[in-house]
Structure 1
Amino acid sequence: MQTHQKQYATIIFDLGAVLIDWNPRYLFNKIFSTPAETEHFLRNICTSDWNEEQDAGRALSDATELLVQQYPGYEAQIRAYYGRWKEMLGGTIDDTVAILEQLKSTGQYKLYALTNWSNETFPIALTQYPFLQWFDGIVVSGREKMRKPHACFYELLLNRYHVNAADALFIDDNLRNVTAAEACGIESIHFTSPDQLKQVLTAKAILS
């Protein structure tokens, strides 16, 4: 019995750690004397949970002042988080960008980005990474004041761009976000490396 390969119409990318190498350690390893100090700071003060509130629309100034009040001894380092935010950008993940370019060149797929990103810092990425213009649409959490892994954020993209979840594919490095997308009926790939992504897309006959 012959099996038919599933046909996809839409591919949705996460940006950070998939296409763009963003990591606060690039900055704080310059600020602190040891990696252990950096890890303590990011685990206990400027935490990922705190950062996600900015991704969900909280003003960077409000977020900064909140932590400065709580941890006055770390004021300079806290202010550096957004004051020197550009130093957290490590460049593009070139091999994934090459995959995106290959997908774009086929003309077969609608390409979208769904990203947890502050609306105040995203314009920096737009000017720094020309490949972002290749997408048919980008949904930025900070602009919409909602974020992954909440179902409403995925549904916003589906509804705004008239995407059928059944023939869409979502790519994200965060397993939590992948699980949430699948709960919304969107088949997903848990990204671990460009090579792994290329293998999966080839197996699905999306890439040749």
Structure 2
Amino acid sequence: MNKKNSPYTAAITGGGFLFEETVTLLPLLQAANSEILLNEEKVNNHLLQINAERSRAKAILEIKRRYEAMPAYFWNDFLEMNDSDKVVALFYVILKTYKICFDFHVNVTMKKWNSISRSVKKEDLMMEFNEISAKDEFVDSWSDNTKDRVASAYLTILRKVGMLDRESHLNALVCSNFSYYLAKGVSWFLEACLLQPYEIENIKKTLL
């Protein structure tokens, strides 16, 4: 299986969470001449204030990748959210954009949340990498350094959204608009935010 046939990418290492940067670039992405505006930003650095052009280019590429992974209406809804809900929404976007993050989350983090330890460490992700590599030749071809950087990027994202503390313990996310995701038919995301079944049921009742 080559790269074209694989659903995986290591591109998450190209930027990280990029919350402030996403909010900053959103007007450019939504503009009719977005390609021109993004290229100007890559060269001139008026908005992002990322010193190295190579780093700016990587950040812009990943934010664009995430933007294009979602329907246009989502980003209009995103703009209406408060900042803490936007953070949770960006986490949703990342899970939708990068299959490696989705697999880490479903196969490792959510299972760990339902275990006694309720913690996630890099070694846990490396075990999942072994499982994925056994089925995907492209991921199997990644160097140990690439795998390490991908795992580190995912853990950093969990910390940025408030799901993982300094001791690697997991916490459920807090969000004022979980009903939004239920209304859009993506109840799996509430489980991904580590909500308990009774909490999800209570939110569903508010929609009735």
TM-score normalised to the size of structure 1?
0.27
